[in-house]
Each structure stands twice: as C-alpha cells, then as structure tokens.
Amino acid sequence: MTTIGSTAYYSSTGRYGGTEKTDNSTASTYTASQQESGRKSVAGGDNSSGVSTVTLKLQGKLVSLYMFDLSNAKPIDIAALPQDQYNEFMQAKEQLIETSMSSLESEYSTHEAPDLSNYAGLKPYANVVIGGSVVATIDNQGVVTSDDALGNRLRNLLSGLDGVSGPDFAQKIAERIANLVGGRVQKARTALTQREFNSLPPIPETKVTIDHVAMKADLRYAEIQGWKQDYARYEDGRVKYLRQIIQ
C-alpha cells in the first residue's frame, strides 16, 4: 500500500594562552570523531601539547578517540577574551547546554499519540472505482492511498498538481486519478465541504510527558545545571570586565 501525500570548549596555549581555570578540572580532554572516507576531525585549535589516538570499531564505523594533554595549560580569564572569541565560547557553551538538556529530557519522556480515529478531516472523501473495485482512496485532506503499483504512477501525475489541502483539492485529485485509470469517482459518506473542513479544530498533537522527578535524580541533570551556573557567571564576569575598561 502506498500513501502519497556535546561540544566541549577548551583553549590550548597556542590560541588563548591556556584554559579557563574553572573548566580545567581534568588534565585531559577527550573528543571523538567518526572516520569516514579517510577523513579525521580533531577538536581544538592547537595540538602542540601532544595528542594520542585510539581507533575503535563501533557499530560498523571506525571511531577515533583523541586525548589532548592539557596538564601544562595555563588558565585564562574568559571575561577578558576578545569579543569574537568570547562570543564563540559562549555560543559553544549555550549549544552544549541546549543539546544536552534536550537529549536528557528525551530519555525521560513518554509520547502519547492522539486518537484520530474520529477526526473528520482524515476520513475518506472519495474512492476511485473500476468495475466495482476500489483502486484508490482520497481523504478529506487530499491524501491518496492506493496499492504500490498505482502509487508509483501517481507520484509523477500528482507532483505538479497545485491546491490547498482540503476537499476541493481532494476532488481535483480524485478526478485526475479517475481519468488516468479509466475509473469513476465515488464520493464517500464522510466527505466534507471545504467550508466544513476549514472550520475543523487543529489535529491534536502528540502528548509529551517528562518525568521530571526521575530526570532530576540523574547525575547528568546536576552537571547541566552546573553548566548553566557557569554560563551565568561568565556573563556576569563579562559585564564587570567591560565596565572596568570603559571607566
């Protein structure tokens, strides 16, 4: 049947003269990149401090783990970075927070699909019939359901057909299909008028429920909250730094 219709931000001595001291809790930073077509991706601007590589095969792909030795890195003041570098740092930090939080919420979410069995907009508008047999069904939106053989023929036929979703468009599609296969259009009892279709409420969305209690007990949640506090601290430090240099 066919229906148609985490980035870790750090700086090396070669770029900023060291790493921000509050983020340098470990002597090494690890990043992973997948090797495809012989390409390698190494995080950071300077690997002069020394890099060791371990290549593993995970799920059929080669994955290289790069270990950067930052034991000799010197701390820097994020607030005093040049504007473009400060912006880059903050954007990376913000993206890390957003993507990590989104991923964590997804793990603790359940999705409940709405019951659309009685939604009038999805009910049949018409059937295309040949000799008493239904070869295609068009719903009130204009979505076509047919067997695979006819579906392949309809893709090209309907690709250039313009119209607004609804019964008027469904009628146009039904007539086009009937002409193609030599059948006739048989209107369904559930067919709507365009006016009735336009007055329907929106299609209910999938209900997403997050188990906040369980999520907040996850150690990753506390880590993300720490990143948020760091972000706020960087912003506050930047304001104070700029205030000092203009006085």
Beta strand 184-187 pairing with 124-130? antiparallel
| Other beta carbons within 10 Å of 217 | 11
**Would you list the domain boundaries of the chain?**
7-73, 77-113+206-247, 120-198
Under 8 Å between Cβ of 181 and 150: yes
Contacts of 36 (CB under 8 A, 6+ apart): 61
CB count in 10 Å sphere of residue 49: 16
Q: What is the pLDDT of residues 55-91, one digit of tens each?
A: 766 666 676 666 666 677 677 889 999 999 999 999 9
Residue 65's SS3 state is strand
All residues at 6 or more sequence positions from 4 whose CB lies less than 8 Å from its CB, including other chains: 143, 144, 151, 154, 155, 158
Quick: pLDDT tens for 91-120: 999 999 999 999 999 999 999 998 888 899
Mean pLDDT of the chain: 79
CA–CA separation, 216 vs 108, rounded Å? 10
CA–CA dist 146, 128 (Å, integer):
10
Q: pLDDT tens across 119-147, in order?
A: 999 999 999 999 989 999 999 999 998 88
Q: Do residues 66 and 7 make contact, with C-beta atoms less than 8 angstroms apart?
A: no
What is the per-residue pLDDT across 181-198, written as a single tens digit (0 to 9) for each? 899 999 999 999 999 999
